[in-house]
Structure 1
Amino acid sequence: MDHSFHHCLLLAQTVFQKQVVLEAAEHGLLPGQSKILDYLLSHDGCEQKSLGEAFHLEAATVTGILRRMDEAGLIKKHVKEGNRKSQYVFLTEKGRKMAAETVRPIMKSCEEQALEGITEEEKAILLKGLQKIYENMTKGSKR
């Protein structure tokens, strides 16, 4: 494959995300829901706006994804005392089970496939490089 850097980065992200979405769909999850479930396993009870910030999504997009997740019984939203403007998102037992027993194994499987044949040293370099790219691309950005 003889592509430019940006093309390779976009292709890798696109096929990885497509695989995650396809596998998650087999379990009834809609696009966007798997990454939010995964995030909430480590950030249960976070503010709704922090989900948008974590994934660089517009507030309306997050609201739509969360509405469908709430309807499916995966999450509940609450307003905490003293902060009526902010909604906080919590996993339900169904959502926690889906995240831990379905989403995490899908992510792990996709990561293993993506990193097949790549040494631990190469993985460390790749991760460090991707983190630096993210930092560079978000420098001075409001998101």
Structure 2
Amino acid sequence: MEKSFHHLLLLAQTAFQKQVVLEAAAQGLLPGQSKMLDFLAEHDGCEQKVLGQKFHLEPATVTGILKRMEESGLICRQLMEGNKKSRYVYLTEKGKRLALETVRPIFSACEAKALEGLSGEEQEFLREMLEKIYENMMKG
């Protein structure tokens, strides 16, 4: 029996996510923290609500993840002068080190495993197709 597209996509995403979460947990990170660290390494000082938008998470979920990260000394959150509604998220030195020395290698290793046996052309085609699928799903 042939597996449906949605089933294959869910299987691939679940297997990839499980690998990332397991490897991140071995480094003391809780689910959701690795992707936040990775994003903040490139977008330090972004608004907290942007993290929710980027990862399609509810504000309460983002707040919970960030609260634990703050308690672990990985980030700090600040209100900006003149904007009392939005909090901005910054990596601490500890958070930067963890993002660059631990989280990035985890994602790289998982990507290498997932793409093993695919040519460079196939990898690029897959990226383009996944981006197109995402764009299609985000259309109103």
**Aligning the two structures, in what range does the TM-score lie when normalised by the shorter sequence?**
over 0.9
SS in 1 for 2:67: helix
Match of 1:14 in 2: 14
SS in 1 for 2:31: coil
Q: What runs of 5+ residues in structure 2 fail to find an aligned partner?
A: none
Match runs of 1:19-34 below 5 Å: 19-34=19-34
C-alpha distance in 2, partners of 1:136/1:97?
36
Match of 2:113 in 1: 113
- Cα deviation for residue 97 of structure 1 reads 0.3
Q: Which amino acid aligns with 1:61?
A: T
Match of 1:129 in 2: 129
- Cα deviation for residue 19 of structure 1 reads 0.2
1:36-69 C-alpha deviation (Å, 9 max, x unpaired) = 0000000000000000000000000000000000
Match of 2:71 in 1: 71
C-alpha distance in 1, partners of 2:23/2:82?
40
Q: Which amino acid aligns with 1:19?
A: Q
Q: What runs of 5+ residues in structure 1 fail to find an aligned partner?
A: none
Residue 91, structure 1, aligned to residue 58, structure 2: no
1:74-124 C-alpha deviation (Å, 9 max, x unpaired) = 000000111110000000000000000000000000000000000111111
Tell me the matched-pair count.
140
Which structure 1 residue ranges, 4+ long, deviate > 6 Å from structure 2?
none
Q: Which amino acid aligns with 2:21?
A: V
Q: Which amino acid aligns with 1:40?
A: L
Match of 1:57 in 2: 57
C-alpha distance in 1, partners of 2:3/2:120?
25
- Cα deviation for residue 2 of structure 1 reads 3.3
Residue 47, structure 1, aligned to residue 30, structure 2: no
Q: TM-score, normalised by structure 1?
A: 0.96
SS in 2 for 1:27: coil
Match of 2:82 in 1: 82
Identical aligned pairs, as a percentage?
68
